[in-house]
């Protein structure tokens, strides 16, 4: 090789090395830019864990409240009076939570989730402090409504923030943790409420929220960093008002129907008419609104619509079971009020364990369709087992049945939210979370109402058949219906007690048979879910899988 050729070869090598070095510098600069941008939007992993802990505290606040307050109710009535308005202490909270849920979700989408979430915590804490300071039943009911307004934002805020912080592929394990916190609240709430009431007074059932809420408030304020938003449009106030009236009417129908008023009474009929008219008006307004509270485009996605149905039916089953299992345990198995709560532990622990396993499996594999199907099957089997319980069923046997039901609900609790969030764009994360939560809440209201109507009618019919033969004692039990506790039941004559236990067993059988049909409906919906790949990118990934060229999960 000549000297000139060698020089040319050396120049080419040096030029190639320079070009590679320049490309390397450009990649480093691009990588640094990406890290800087991501750092401005998404917390580091350690910060995410701190935020998740704060969100778990917030979920604990929302779920624990009613559980803690329930044991304090008799003491509250003894102190404040107003027994005739006692049910409104719970109803006001439930109504405000359900009605505010969609509004909080939309506010978070438009103006930023962090500000909306912090505001909901503040509202909840203000309501808690005022409830503890209440001087009469009217004040307590009003302040409980304030609490409920904040609670609606807590539930939606937690799910929407997880949806924005964590990619769907990793989201399952965190939502499984949230389900675990819910189970802990359901188990521990009555025990904590009873202890606080006995030793510190009923006002501490509300004051206990303050230190927990302040911890969550401080941690979220200090650690959570999300992009600030400023929407150009305005909140659809007319749509929000119509939706609030519609939801309130439906919840009141399910709360009052068959208890406060007959199902065919004028009040119930008027509420049904008002609810239907309000929801029809809401649908019309949403078609014209620039920023609809609940954009109906999200229902065009088949998976989202199916998960809304599954969530509604799961809520129907879960809260119905939570109401009637303790009643059966007290009336038939002779458990005390406190023990009947503890006897639910097989269901709640199974729900918690399976939910966490399902979340980790989903994060590891990206597969999720198996869980709605398996959950619906297990739920139907567990409910059918519970429907076979009679006066001779042991606590161990009923515990096994409850564990099967809990495993089914564990498969469904967080997967429904995960799939719903994966089916929408990031800009609709709040309304998707709030809509899924709202459907579950409405399902629980309808479940308690319909199962309660069947149960009470069955108990009344059974007792009426036996009352003529047993005389006055039986007539007294018939009038009290399903309101006897274990202590009162023990004081009845043996014939009346035996008749009442058979009547409750029969009512439970009918109520749980209904939920078997409901669980099969959830199974039918789950079969049609399309397993769209879970997005693995971070919050910058704005569209769901398949959205660019037509969503494959859209029906």
Q: Where are the domains of the chain?
A: 44-225, 235-288, 294-532
Taking all residues of the chain, what is their mean pLDDT, rounded to a whole number? 76
How far is it, in rounded angstroms, from Cα 252 to Cα 250?
A: 5
* C-alpha span between 254 and 449 (Å, rounded): 5
Distances (CA, A) of 371 to 222, 355, 408, 460: 36, 10, 9, 39
Instruction: Flag the least confident range among 280-284, 306-310, 418-422.
Output: 418-422
pLDDT band at 470 (very low <50, low <70, confident <90, very high): low
The arithmetic mean of pLDDT across residues 227-233, rounded, is 62
**Mean local confidence (pLDDT), 242-247:** 88
pLDDT at 555 over 70: no
Counting every residue written for the chain, the total comes to 555
- pLDDT at position 548: 34
In this prediction the pTM is 0.75
Task: Please provide the CATH number assigned to the domain covering 44-225.
Answer: 1.20.1250.20
Tokens of 415: 């997967």
Location of structure tokens 């049609």: 528
Instruction: Give the whole-angstrom CA distance, residue 436 versus residue 167.
Output: 19
Predicted pLDDT of residue 233 = 62
311-421-411-120 Cα dihedral, nearest 10 degrees: -70
pLDDT digits (tens, 9 = 90+) for 147-199: 988 988 888 888 888 877 777 767 777 777 777 777 777 777 777 777 777 78
What is the C-alpha R_g of the chain? 27
Q: Which residues contact 365 (CB under 8 A, 6 or more apart)?
A: none
User: Which of 57-71, 203-217, 249-263, 497-511 has the highest mean predicted lDDT (pLDDT)?
Assistant: 203-217
Q: How far apart are CA 474 and CA 107, in angstroms?
A: 56
Query: Are 405 and 386 contacting, i.e. CB atoms less than 8 angstroms apart?
Result: yes
The two three-digit tokens of residue 516, written as one number: 């078997």
pLDDT at 400: 92
Say which range, 38-42, 109-113, 319-323, 378-382, has the weakest mean pLDDT: 38-42
CA distance 368 to 359: 9
Report percent pLDDT > 70 for the chain.
78
Question: Which of 185-194, 248-257, 336-345 shows the lowest per-residue confidence on average (mean pLDDT)?
Answer: 336-345
- CATH superfamily name and code, 294-532: MFS general substrate transporter like domains (1.20.1250.20)
Containing H/E element for 261? none
| Residue 301, SS3 per DSSP | strand
Higher pLDDT, 92 or 41: 92
Same fold, 44-225 and 294-532: yes
């Amino acid at each position: 090789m000549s000297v000139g050729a060698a020089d040319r070869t050396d120049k080419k090598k040096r030029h190639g090395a320079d070009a590679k070095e320049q490309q390397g510098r450009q990649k480093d600069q691009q990588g640094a830019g990406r890290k800087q941008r991501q750092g401005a939007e998404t917390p580091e992993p350690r910060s995410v864990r701190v935020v998740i802990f704060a969100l778990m505290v917030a979920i604990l606040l929302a779920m624990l409240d009613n559980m803690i307050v329930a044991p304090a109710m008799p003491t509250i009535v003894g102190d404040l009076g107003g027994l005739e308005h006692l049910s409104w202490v719970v109803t006001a909270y439930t109504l405000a939570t359900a009605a505010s849920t969609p509004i909080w979700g939309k506010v978070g989408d438009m103006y930023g989730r962090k500000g909306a979430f912090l505001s909901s915590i503040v509202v909840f804490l203000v309501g808690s402090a005022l409830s503890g300071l209440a001087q009469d039943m009217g004040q307590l009911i009003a302040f409980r409504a304030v609490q409920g307004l904040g609670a609606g934002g807590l539930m939606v805020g937690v799910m929407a923030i997880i949806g924005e912080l964590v990619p769907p592929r990793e989201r399952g394990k965190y939502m499984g943790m949230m389900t675990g916190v819910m189970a802990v609240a359901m188990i521990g709430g009555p025990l904590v409420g009873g202890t606080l009431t006995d030793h510190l007074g009923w006002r501490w059932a509300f004051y206990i929220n303050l230190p927990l809420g302040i911890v969550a408030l401080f941690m979220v304020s200090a650690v959570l960093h999300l992009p600030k938003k400023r929407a150009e449009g305005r909140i659809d106030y007319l749509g929000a008002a119509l939706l609030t009236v519609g939801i309130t009417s439906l919840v009141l129908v399910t709360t009052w129907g068959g208890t406060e008023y007959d199902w065919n009474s004028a009040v119930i009929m008027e509420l049904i008419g008002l609810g239907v008219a309000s929801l029809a008006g809401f649908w019309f307004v949403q078609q014209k609104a620039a920023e609809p509270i609940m954009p109906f485009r999200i229902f065009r996605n088949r998976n989202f619509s199916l998960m809304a149905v599954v969530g509604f039916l799961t809520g129907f089953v879960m809260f119905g079971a939570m109401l009637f299992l303790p009643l059966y345990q007290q009336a038939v198995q002779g458990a005390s009020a406190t023990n009947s709560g503890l006897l639910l532990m097989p269901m709640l622990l199974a729900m918690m364990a399976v939910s966490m396993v399902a979340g980790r499996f989903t994060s590891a594999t990206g597969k999720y369709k198996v869980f709605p199907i398996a959950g619906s099957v297990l739920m139907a089997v567990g409910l059918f087992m519970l429907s076979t319980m009679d006066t001779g069923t042991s606590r161990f046997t009923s515990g096994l049945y409850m564990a099967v039901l809990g495993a089914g609900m564990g498969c469904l609790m967080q997967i429904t939210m995960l799939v719903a969030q994966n089916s929408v764009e990031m800009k609709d994360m709040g309304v998707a979370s709030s809509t899924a939560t709202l459907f579950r809440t409405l399902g629980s209201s309808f479940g308690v109402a319909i199962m309660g109507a069947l149960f009470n009618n069955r108990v009344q019919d059974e007792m009426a058949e036996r009352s003529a033969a047993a005389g006055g004692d039986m007539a007294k039990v018939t009038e009290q219906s399903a309101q006897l506790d274990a202590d009162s039941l023990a004081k009845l004559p043996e014939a009346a007690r035996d008749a009442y236990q058979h009547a409750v067993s029969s009512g439970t059988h009918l109520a749980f048979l209904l939920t078997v049909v409901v669980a099969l409906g959830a199974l039918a919906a789950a079969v049609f879910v399309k397993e769209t790949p879970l997005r693995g990118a971070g919050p910058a990934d704005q569209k769901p899988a398949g959205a660019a060229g037509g969503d494959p999960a859209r029906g």
